[in-house]
Amino acid sequence: MLRMCEKFSDHVQIFVDQTKSGDPSLDGVACSQCHLIKQVDRAKHPPEPKYEIGGKTLYGPYKDFVQNLAHQSMELSLFQKSDLCLNCHQSVPSATNLGKANDLLGNWDQSRAVRSGKECQTCHMPQQVGESANGEKKRTIANHSFPGRIGKLRQEAAKLDVQTKVDGDTTTVTVKVQSLVPHNLPATHPAWATVVLNLDIKGKNLKTVFSDKRVYGRTYLDAKGQPTIFDFEAVKVAEDTVLKPEETREESFTFPTPKDTKTFDVEVGLNYGPLTGPASFLQRVEAESSQGSQDPVFQSIEILKRAENIPVGK
């Protein structure tokens, strides 16, 4: 499971220290960052992981783990619970005055999904046939690609209901955006991620005659009162428009009814917005990505789309 199997015991403390410091430069976000966790303290905010130090044991969810020469393995029920995910995914920007209300997930533990017995792993680590480590015999394991923003799971994240009312020279489009996920949407990095609702009205010859949008996300300010996307600079939440767990948000758009046409098209799309930030930051991300500017993080990613043709009337 680890690249330096023969030196695992020598690196355990390094892995632990780097994970706690938020700078896992040696191993990146890889096996050790999760599989060294033995317990999660939910009383802390964000929840605090407790690590096994000084041993050669990696923990996981299965009794039938595969023996290997790199480390010992042990089944732990924690790996089938959402608690395991919280120490990273419920983290807040480092400024303490942002407070608990600024968590990334929202009231996820009160959602219908959780009440029905679902855990984070249900959607984001579904079962598949594969191998936990290179060369291992294939068996039923949890998917470690963590589907979400990228992958088909995003198409199940929301519903759109679109109603168009033409009233003479004025038209109103009402869009109900229903989040179907048991956590905030978006819920990745505290400031980078946005979900965008786009409206495009196309009139004669499919020419766009009106466009508007709504952005769901958070805006942070630094100590100088300037917007920042960096969690280590954030001291205040200036705006919070994220969709709360399983929330339905109603948006209204009013515009002049298209002229010189018998019908017009209403196109509504819900998308994950591309990464934004200072040019130097974007250039660094591009340089470190194996796909460069083609990395999906730089692209608008469609969640779902609705289109309808509306008669103007006489």
pLDDT at 24 > cutoff 50: no
Please give the pLDDT value at position 303: 94
Determine phi and psi for 75, rounding to 5 degrees: -70, 140
Average pLDDT over residues 123-135: 80
pLDDT at 20 > cutoff 80: no
pLDDT, tens digit, 9 for 90 and up, residues 221-238: 888 999 888 877 888 888
Provide the residue type at 180 as one letter. Answer: L
Point out the least confidently predicted range of 75-84, 110-119, 185-194, 203-212.
Answer: 185-194
- Residues 252 and 139: their CA atoms lie apart, in Å, by 50
Mean predicted lDDT score pLDDT of the chain:
84
Q: Over pLDDT 90: what percentage of the chain?
A: 44
- Domain extents in the chain: 5-91, 152-311
pLDDT at 100 > cutoff 60: no
| Confidence grade of residue 206 (pLDDT, cut at 50, 70, 90) | very high
pLDDT at 274 > cutoff 60: yes
- Residues 251 and 164: their CA atoms lie apart, in Å, by 12
Residues in the chain: 314
Please give the pLDDT value at position 222: 87
| Confidence grade of residue 55 (pLDDT, cut at 50, 70, 90) | low
- Residues of the chain by 3-state class (helix, strand, coil), percent to 5: 25, 35, 45
3-state per-residue secondary structure call for 116-181:
CCCCHHHHHCCEEEECCCCCCCCEEEECCCCCCCCCHHHHHCEEEEEEEEEECCEEEEEEEEEECC
Whole-number Cα distances in Å, 89 to 47, 105, 287, 295: 9, 7, 25, 22
- Residues 109 and 117: their CA atoms lie apart, in Å, by 10
Question: Is CATH 2.60.40.1730 the classification given to domain 152-311?
Answer: no
Specify whether the CB–CB gap between 68 and 81 falls below 8 A.
no
Determine phi and psi for 160, rounding to 5 degrees: -125, 130
pLDDT, tens digit, 9 for 90 and up, residues 144-198: 888 888 778 888 899 999 999 999 999 999 999 999 999 999 986 766 789 999 9
pLDDT at 133 > cutoff 50: yes
